[in-house]
Chains A and B, each alone.
Chain A
Amino acid sequence: DQQVKQNSPSLSVQEGRISILNCDYTNSMFDYFLWYKKYPAEGPTFLISISSIKDKNEDGRFTVFLNKSAKHLSLHIVPSQPGDSAVYFCAAVQGAQKLVFGQGTRLTINP
């Protein structure tokens, strides 16, 4: 039973445009979410997070939106740059200091 789902395995976006990565969850008890970025042959690195008491969190080119009623969050990257090409994972905090991850979305930024 996948509690956190990223239904798009891949996404291709032109450089300079907006990239939107989506994530859905099923457990209404989740109250904190994180996005990670992963390059090939490296470990995931933390990108941005959001608490359920907010509906938006922004950090430079990255913005995460949370829609609690829809159990949906999205990561917006604008403008997209070639270095943003990576696999992106969303994750939800479950219990004490445990994360449940989605399957990941491979983002490719085309010149």
Chain B
Amino acid sequence: DAGITQSPRHKVTETGTPVTLRCHQTENHRYMYWYRQDPGHGLRLIHYSYGVKDTDKGEVSDGYSVSRSKTEDFLLTLESATSSQTSVYFCATASEASYEQYFGPGTRLTVT
């Protein structure tokens, strides 16, 4: 258990509003990731970070931005939420020593 928390755990928001999801880890892992899980698609990488202030795009990055100002926190922002961003969002971390990623409990986001 890598000590990963996500907040909020559930959120309902309206189309066009900004939303920020937070991931916090206590394991001092270098790598952090944001995924979304949708039926029929599995887990798709949105953005990832390989260090403080070092981030890069994943497979489905359009409409999302991220920031990592501290090792322990990785924020995912939807600048203007759309209904297609209704999903379950998972944060994950990994150390340099292993390919294994540790996942947080997820945030269920509904955009109405």
Q: Which residues of A approach B to under 8 Å, CB–CB? A: 6, 9, 32, 34, 36, 41-46, 49, 89, 91, 93, 96-104
The reply to whether B42 and A46 contact each other, CB–CB distance below 8 Å, is no
Cβ of B45: which chain A residues have Cβ within 8 Å of it?
98-100
- The CA of A98 and the CA of B56, in the complex, are separated in Å by 11
Surface stretch bound by A, among B60-68, B78-86, B102-110: B102-110
- The CA of A32 and the CA of B100, in the complex, are separated in Å by 10
- The CA of A101 and the CA of B100, in the complex, are separated in Å by 13
Contact residues of A: prevailing secondary structure: strand
Query: Which of B48, B92, B101, B106 makes the CB contact (< 8 A) with A42?
Result: B106
The reply to whether A49 and B100 contact each other, CB–CB distance below 8 Å, is yes
The reply to whether B94 and A103 contact each other, CB–CB distance below 8 Å, is no
Sample 26 A-B pairs with CB under 8 A, ordered by A number: A32-B99, A34-B99, A34-B100, A36-B103, A41-B105, A42-B106, A43-B4, A43-B90, A43-B103, A43-B104, A43-B105, A44-B43, A44-B90, A46-B101, A49-B100, A89-B42, A91-B43, A97-B96, A99-B45, A99-B101, A101-B42, A101-B44, A102-B42, A103-B41, A103-B42, A104-B42
The reply to whether B90 and A96 contact each other, CB–CB distance below 8 Å, is no
How many of B's residues come within 8 Å of A, CB to CB?
25
Cβ of B42: which chain A residues have Cβ within 8 Å of it?
6, 89, 101-104
Most buried by B among A98, A103, A104: A98
The reply to whether A103 and B40 contact each other, CB–CB distance below 8 Å, is yes
Contacts A97-B50, A97-B94 hold; do A44 and B41 have CB atoms under 8 A apart? no
